[in-house]
Structure 1
Amino acid sequence: MGEEIKKSLLAKETSVGEEETRIIDGNEELSLKRKVWIETKKIWVVAGPATFTRVATFGTNVISQAFIGHIGSTQLAAFSLVFTVLVRFANGILLGMASALGTLCGQSYGAKQYHMLGIHLQRSWIVVFVGTLFLIPLCVFTTPILEALGQEENISKFAGYISLWVIPVLFAFVVSFTCQMYLQTQSKNIIVAYVSAISIGIHIFLCWLLSVKFKFGVPGVMVSTLISYWLPNLGQLLFILCGGCPETWTGFSMLAFTDLWDVLKLSLSSGVMLCLELWYNTILVLLTGNMENAEVSIDALSICLNIAGWEMMISLGFMASASVRVSNELGRGSSKAAKFSIVVIVSISVVIGLVLFVLFLFLREQLAYIFTNDEAVAKMVAELSPLLAFSILLNSVQPVLSGVALGAGWQKYVAYVNLACYYIIGIPVGVVLGYPLKMQVKGVWIGMLFGTLVQTIVLIILSYKTDWDKQVQIARSRVSRWDRTNNKESKKPSSLSSLNFLLLELCEWSM
């Protein structure tokens, strides 16, 4: 009986996989509605857990900021500077470098070269860890750096204290980003969502316990923050190393130390591409710090950027899904499926962005009181709310297109686009509006939104004009070049869902 159930489940999984392949490749006459539904399911398998994980991770910072905001305005401004400037700066570099792993693993998985994924992961660990070592001086010398950039002395000094707590957070990024890329290319990132949910619950409790109950203040919040960052990493590592990915993780290998220069070059290209995006808002905060009434401006702008950041986590989830779907289909050799997936992902993300655009356009001042009791800060947040709403709308498109670039391996070219649109167009326009035209924070933000709009238009044109059949050939060439092992592919089924896998195990146990 158990053997019959097992065969039935395997047959069902195989038939579903074959049906989806036929549907997306267009070899079967089906309605557009059916095709969109099948593709949407594939998208949410990755985007759902990825979005939740990023929301939970970002929530760690927001929860910490909320508790620190009720300790004092100086502490809030210092924490905002560190996490909006320093951590975002480091996050851009490390996430960008780890994103190269998404390209390599995604295309290798699509080409069914499963044995290469574990080797790619180990190579990425080495490269990203070394990159993290070069970021440590930024944490050590935060105070003089911020003072040199024109920030107020009392805020800079407290920021220097908080930045020392950030050093373990940077090393947490090494494990977090690489493991997430590795798991999501196999559509196995649901485990990350589970551990992130547990982690954020623990973080809320510990923040209250250490900072409110025991009155440890900022140190109590930072201890809780570190625990919250590292708990999901332990869960991911245990899942990978203890048999959660039997096809793609075959143990540590000396091959991880080969081709590191090529990995580094691709990682740096990815790093530059994402850095230029993630640092963009950082420039906005730094420019605000040089304006009148800097403390109120920084607090208000940080609250707005944190709210936009919540929505950005949704878009980053779709960015991950776009990267996985495009890289998998290019590795598998289906240009038609890759193009169809791009259209569906962008459409879903835009619909969500429109809903949130309307929501945040009308909430306005009420948002601020979640983070602060200061009426001056709340009033400025209300004034900035229309710009916040438009930022959210643009963020529903731009990150998804960046995910397409990651999946296709266009990091170098998109880096040029980002440099031109953000730093040659957006920031100069923002500076002119903010300073000579006396529009202050609003002017800077409007200019930078203009840069984002131009970049989004360029990426849409780039995606539309691309010869996707040629991209398939490039992906196959890349996969073939990186496969230097003689390992045999595992014959185990790769598309079993978690529920079916559990049922199969129960069948085996009962026989």
Structure 2
Amino acid sequence: MSDELKKIGEKSWVESKKMWYIAGPAILCAVAQFSMEFVTAAFVGHLGDVELAAVSVVQNVIEGFAFGVMLGLGSALETLCGQAVGAGQERMLGIYMQRSWVIAFGTAFVLLPIYIFATQILKLLHQGDHISEVAGKYCVWVIPQLFAYALNFPLQKFFQSQSRVWVMTIMSIVVFGIHTLLTWLLVVKLGHGLVGAAIAGNISWAILVLAQLVYVVSGYFPDAWTGFSMAAFKALFGFLKLSLASAIMLCLELWYYTILILLVGVLKNPEIALDAVSICTNLHMWTLMVALGFNAAVSVRVSNELGAAQPKVAKFSVVVAVTTSLFFGLIFTSAILASGKQFPKLFTNKPLVVKETSKLQYLLAATIFLNSIQPVLHGVAIGAGWQSLIALISIVCYYVFGLPIGALLGFKFKVGVQGIWSGMFAGAFVQTLILVYILYRTNWQKEALQAEERIKKWGGPTERPETELT
């Protein structure tokens, strides 16, 4: 028995090292890129309340929508590139990335009217006229960032699938420093206001994308990148189908919490409630960065091992990733519960806001705990190519079950923000239970065979490893 436990411990250690090699830099990269928006909002906040509100609305509604779509489209590469790497088909990675660029740039043009007509859209969402006008102008100035997203996310998935994440992370951290300096220079020192904030963001994203492109074409990927190819325009329909499924799956997640903000904004006297929810969602987002690192890691590990016809290793990587992420979730949850009514004071000194935020302590702790599991399960789904199934489950759990319950509790039974959040948490909880059941019932050997078929369909025949489906 002790020998068996020792063997499991050794396997866990080996798998943990592989996972942390991806998860560690992925967490740092996510924090660096997330913090760019935080820096923009921090400097803009000194310009005035209207400017801060306008930028916050753009970041959370308009840019958040586009960011989610582009990230989702890029996530299709996690399935295809990861499985191709596992099967030794690195030659297809550059083609896959170029196909993703074609689809992402097409989508960027489709999303362009949302930026151009942001003022009208925000007014339809019952935002204030002055805020909507300012936000609309800012949206037009940040259009270049929309096209930067179209290049950025396929590049990142290209790197992640090959476990080349440290260079990408270092680039993101350096660009974060540049962005902070540029925003201070243009907004504070030179006094260019919102225009300066937009220009700083545009330049920062351009530097990040160009640095990654130079890295790709400089000979560091001799097998995966062989130059631009017309093959990128072939088999686009199947690629588009998987990309859209990935985008829908991710956007359903992101929009769910955007809807929480919008519903709270409809409550009577919503100012205090919005402040409380904003504090909680900020804390939630920072802890979520860790889970997203494990999301990226388990996606790469599962897709690589399925592509290599190693279903047992893929299954074991899921266990290690979920267990590790759950451990960090328990730490964050305990910190919120132990802080009592003190954690809101990190953000505000207003007694009413502190009191309202403290009421959400247990819901915030439960949400943080749940989101230490859920993103990892989504990473497994991406690695295995289950995006369409997860999108369907999300629609039912979130929008058919959770959202109506939240609206009913919040408005019909007058429970307010706690009722809205409770209903939406219920939807996320049910989805997590379903995902755990799906994982429990998964035939991993069948998944490995499907990965092989997917590679043959889009990348040509593969040579099976000698350890066939071990």
Whole-Å separation in 2 of the counterparts to 1:278 and 1:321: 20
1:470 aligned residue = 446
1:25 aligned residue = none
1:129 aligned residue = 105
Contact 1:105–1:117 under 8 Å retained in 2:
yes
Does residue 196 of the first structure (1) align with residue 179 of the second (2)? no
1:158 aligned residue = 134
Going from structure 1 to structure 2, the CA distance change for 1:261 and 1:282 (only over 3 Å counts) comes to: same
| Structure 1 unmatched runs, 5+ | 1-27, 489-511
1:5 aligned residue = none
Going from structure 1 to structure 2, the CA distance change for 1:485 and 1:474 (only over 3 Å counts) comes to: closer
Shift of 1:356: 1.2
1:232 aligned residue = 208
| Structure 2 unmatched runs, 5+ | 464-470
Between 1:462-471 and 1:67-76, the stretch displaced more is: 67-76
RMSD over equivalenced CA pairs, Å: 2.2
Whole-Å separation in 2 of the counterparts to 1:200 and 1:147: 32
The one-letter amino acid paired with 2:81 is: C
Aligned pairs for 1:16-55 within 5 A: 31-55=7-31
Whole-Å separation in 2 of the counterparts to 1:363 and 1:219: 40
Does residue 69 of the first structure (1) align with residue 45 of the second (2)? yes
2:88 aligned residue = 112
1:333 to 303, 309, 316: 309
1:256 to 223, 226, 232: 232
Shift of 1:264: 0.7
Deviations 1:38-63 (A, max 9, x none): 00011011111111111111111112
Whole-Å separation in 1 of the counterparts to 2:353 and 2:207: 34
1:437 aligned residue = 413
Deviations 1:187-238 (A, max 9, x none): 0011110011111112222333333333333333332222332322122111
Going from structure 1 to structure 2, the CA distance change for 1:291 and 1:390 (only over 3 Å counts) comes to: same
Contact 1:364–1:381 under 8 Å retained in 2:
no
Helix, strand or coil for the counterpart of 2:218? helix
Whole-Å separation in 1 of the counterparts to 2:458 and 2:437: 30
Whole-Å separation in 1 of the counterparts to 2:194 and 2:50: 12
Deviations 1:339-398 (A, max 9, x none): 100000001101111111122344577655666676654554344343322221111110
Going from structure 1 to structure 2, the CA distance change for 1:298 and 1:172 (only over 3 Å counts) comes to: farther
Between 1:469-478 and 1:292-301, the stretch displaced more is: 292-301
Going from structure 1 to structure 2, the CA distance change for 1:377 and 1:65 (only over 3 Å counts) comes to: farther
Between 1:196-205 and 1:451-460, the stretch displaced more is: 196-205
Contact 1:418–1:455 under 8 Å retained in 2:
yes
Does residue 275 of the first structure (1) align with residue 251 of the second (2)? yes
Shift of 1:120: 0.5
Whole-Å separation in 2 of the counterparts to 1:366 and 1:264: 48
1:391 aligned residue = 367
Whole-Å separation in 2 of the counterparts to 1:374 and 1:468: 53
Shift of 1:96: 1.1
2:33 to 57, 62, 65: 57
Going from structure 1 to structure 2, the CA distance change for 1:443 and 1:152 (only over 3 Å counts) comes to: farther
Whole-Å separation in 2 of the counterparts to 1:283 and 1:108: 37
Aligned pairs for 1:383-422 within 5 A: 383-422=359-398
Between 1:304-313 and 1:247-256, the stretch displaced more is: 304-313
- Normalised to the residue count of structure 1, the TM-score between the two structures is 0.85
How many residue pairs are counted as aligned between the two chains?
460
Shift of 1:30: 5.8
Going from structure 1 to structure 2, the CA distance change for 1:265 and 1:484 (only over 3 Å counts) comes to: same
Whole-Å separation in 1 of the counterparts to 2:293 and 2:257: 19
Does residue 94 of the first structure (1) align with residue 67 of the second (2)? no
The one-letter amino acid paired with 1:270 is: S
1:3 aligned residue = none
Whole-Å separation in 1 of the counterparts to 2:120 and 2:346: 32
Going from structure 1 to structure 2, the CA distance change for 1:387 and 1:274 (only over 3 Å counts) comes to: same
Shift of 1:107: 0.5
Contact 2:142–2:199 under 8 Å retained in 1:
no
Dislocated runs of 4+, deviation >4 Å: 362-379
Between 1:153-162 and 1:422-431, the stretch displaced more is: 153-162
Deviations 1:376-433 (A, max 9, x none): 5455434434332222111111011001000101111111110011101111111011
Going from structure 1 to structure 2, the CA distance change for 1:116 and 1:341 (only over 3 Å counts) comes to: same
Shift of 1:125: 0.5
Helix, strand or coil for the counterpart of 2:290? helix
Shift of 1:84: 1.3
Whole-Å separation in 2 of the counterparts to 1:207 and 1:381: 31
Contact 2:142–2:201 under 8 Å retained in 1:
no
Going from structure 1 to structure 2, the CA distance change for 1:126 and 1:265 (only over 3 Å counts) comes to: same
The one-letter amino acid paired with 1:259 is: A
2:399 aligned residue = 423
Shift of 1:282: 1.0
Going from structure 1 to structure 2, the CA distance change for 1:308 and 1:339 (only over 3 Å counts) comes to: same
- Normalised to the residue count of structure 2, the TM-score between the two structures is 0.92
Does residue 139 of the first structure (1) align with residue 90 of the second (2)? no
The one-letter amino acid paired with 1:273 is: M
Whole-Å separation in 2 of the counterparts to 1:152 and 1:365: 32
1:247 aligned residue = 223
